[in-house]
Copies of this chain bind each other. A is one copy, B any other.
Amino acid sequence: MTKLEEKTLRSEEIFSGKIISLHLQDVELPNGKQGKREIIKHPGAVAVLAVTDDKKIVMVEQFRKALERTIVEIPAGKLEKGEEPALCARRELEEETGYECESLELLTSFYTSPGFADEIVHVYLATGLTKKENAAALDEDEFVNLEELTLDEAEQYVKEQKIYDAKTIFAIQYLQLQEALKNK
């Protein structure tokens, strides 16, 4: 077994923003040589696979500046400082879609880009949905269109690359797996 750990020799914060910060590190590699690492720190995020009583998946279409295009995603948002992920999931679901949920279950958590970022996403399943009368508002720089898709429609969106991100493709595959297990 190769030794794998890398020791930080020097770390410099190059940028600290609203969402991310960038750190450059000099490290000692397992073989004793030196290397450089570019690290993005992120507060972490939640995503919510919300399924209505009539089996529609609640999605939001959103313009993603990093991609210079809109994509359709399950509702998601970053954790506020000290915020409990399950509370964040309920908050983001309400803000982005107007839905409250009775039941919230953690499906998985994953790092999105371990090669350069510490962002983790906690993916929840939300059921028992009801529309809230006076739902909390979106952030002032957030704009979304609500879409409610059947699983077939969602699979079609993946083929058409309207759905194109890791958390949403994971969520759709999760539902495909549940269907397959149910029909066994």
Q: Which A positions have Cβ atoms within 8 angstroms of B?
A: 1-6, 8, 14-15, 17-20, 22, 24-25, 27, 29-31, 33, 35-42, 45, 61-67, 70-71, 73, 76, 78, 108-119, 121, 140-141, 143-145, 158, 164-167, 169-170, 173-174, 176-177, 180-181, 183-184
Whole-angstrom distance from the CB of A149 to the nearest CB of chain B?
Answer: 15
Whole-angstrom distance from the CB of A173 to the nearest CB of chain B?
Answer: 5
Number of chain copies forming the complex: 2
Q: Is the CB of A24 within 8 A of B35?
A: no
Whole-angstrom distance from the CB of A184 to the nearest CB of chain B?
Answer: 6
Decide: A63 near B17, CB < 8 A? Known: A42-B116, A114-B71, A116-B42.
no
Whole-angstrom distance from the CB of A106 to the nearest CB of chain B?
Answer: 13
Choice from B1, B15, B27, B176 contacting A177 with Cβ under 8 Å: B176
